[in-house]
Chain A
């Protein structure tokens, strides 16, 4: 079945460091891909998305490129800030599926000043 695998956490970085959180997926067909972020004590919110191969989603300095050949959607940011500390979830939604996002297990990011 469809699944999403993301790198184990927690990840701890110093402010201004480069961030990569790996995400790979398995799916039949070509799903849409997402990164959601959960700040402490809050619900998830959409960070960025890509709906087809080679699309790049971007928001708040974060980027991720839909790589069909490697079935990946890695999240990157060139210079993290303390305020980026959160849990990041990779997710997919199957083509034509109205109902369900399939989430990865989440990666806790802590950025130290």
Chain B
């Protein structure tokens, strides 16, 4: 399917466990982004990537790790999940030079018990 997909859509885990959220896009967009959405905070940028093997921190990167070995994939890993990381996570992509228009995936709702 064309577009941007995220998996899983829902995840429940326990404190201290490692969790990886997957993001895949079929447009070959250069840029990819990870946001978290929390009530009262809107969306906050966690990490972004300008191209394969190029990543950079956003506003709230602590506790998260990203990688981008292929243009189309941008996984987000919580190395040791904490309750404060309970949130809805959105992946987005954007074209080089046109990142004002970002295309969002459907989100992953993560609950850390």
Task: Give A contacts to B, CB under 8 Å.
Answer: 4, 32, 34, 41-46, 49, 51, 89, 93, 98-101, 103-106
Q: Contacts A89-B42, A104-B42 known; A99 to B104 CB distance under 8 Å?
A: no
A49 touches B100 (CB 8 A): yes
Say whether B99 faces chain A, with CB atoms less than 8 Å apart. yes
In the complex, which range does the number of interface residues on chain B fall in? 20 to 34
Looking at B40, B43, B90, B107, which has the most chain A CB atoms within 10 Å of its CB? B43
Q: Are B102 and A98 in contact (CB under 8 A)?
A: no
Chain B residues within CB distance 8 Å of chain A:
4, 31, 33, 40-45, 48, 50, 56, 58-59, 90, 92, 97, 99-107
Cβ–Cβ < 8 Å partners of B100 in chain A: 32, 34, 49, 51, 93, 101
Give, as a whole number of angstroms, the nearest-CB distance from A64 to chain B: 14
Chain B contact surface mostly:
strand
**Contact present for A43 and B104 (CB under 8 Å):** yes
Give how many A-B residue pairs fall within 8 Å (CB-CB).
57
Q: With CB as the reference atom, state the residue of chain A lying closest to B105.
A: A43
CA distance A41 to B104 in the complex (A): 12
Among B33, B56, B106, which residue has its beta carbon within 8 angstroms of that of A42? Answer: B106
The 8 Å CB contact of A100, one of B4, B58, B107, is B58
CB distance from B70 to the nearest CB of A (A): 20
Among B40, B48, B58, B104, point to the contact of A45 (Cβ < 8 A).
B104
Q: Which residues of B contact A99 (CB under 8 A)?
A: 31, 33, 45, 48, 50, 56, 58, 99
